[in-house]
């Protein structure tokens, strides 16, 4: 199986959303197969747009040699995502707000 990383930055928002929706469907399916109760895990899953933002952010981290950005760089990365994909602006600002609470910092590293 090829685990080569392909950056998403040039894909249309519709394609990014479709990929994120497929990923979320897979996560839900795997958790259901593992016997987890959907009432207990569905609320903790990101929205499709949040996942798109996280994946684009992960692409940027991978392009930077896997080095996680400091707070200022992370803010710039997220702002750039909003500039490149205006329909994600509200989601980006929500992620920035979550990041100030330490939520984004707890996300798994994209290489793990």
Handedness of CA 92, 94, 100, 103 (dihedral sign): negative
Whether 28 is covered by a domain: the verdict is yes
pLDDT tens figures, 36-55: 999 999 999 999 999 999 99
Whether 80 is covered by a domain: the verdict is yes
Whether 4 is covered by a domain: the verdict is no
Say if residue 27's pLDDT is above 50. yes
Q: Which residue has the higher pLDDT, 108 or 88?
A: 88
Whether 66 is covered by a domain: the verdict is yes
Whether 2 is covered by a domain: the verdict is no
Count: domains in the chain: 1
Task: Give the model's pLDDT for residue 14.
Answer: 95
Whether 95 is covered by a domain: the verdict is yes
Task: Give the model's pLDDT for residue 108.
Answer: 46
Element (H, E) at 52: helix 48-63
Residue ranges of the alpha helices (H) in 1-112? 13-33, 38-41, 48-63, 71-84, 89-100
Whether 23 is covered by a domain: the verdict is yes
Enclosing domain of residue 56: 13-106
Whether 3 is covered by a domain: the verdict is no
Task: Give the model's pLDDT for residue 23.
Answer: 96
């Amino acid at each position: 199986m090829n685990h080569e990383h392909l950056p998403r930055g040039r894909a249309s928002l519709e394609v990014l959303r479709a990929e994120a929706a497929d990923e979320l469907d897979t996560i839900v399916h795997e958790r259901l197969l593992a016997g987890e109760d959907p009432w207990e895990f569905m609320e903790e899953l990101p929205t499709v747009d949040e996942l798109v933002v996280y994946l684009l952010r992960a692409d940027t981290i991978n392009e930077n040699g896997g080095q996680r950005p400091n707070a200022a760089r992370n803010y710039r990365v997220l702002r750039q995502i909003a500039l490149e994909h205006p329909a994600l602006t509200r989601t980006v600002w929500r992620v920035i707000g979550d990041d100030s609470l330490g939520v984004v910092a707890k996300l798994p590293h994209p290489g793990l």
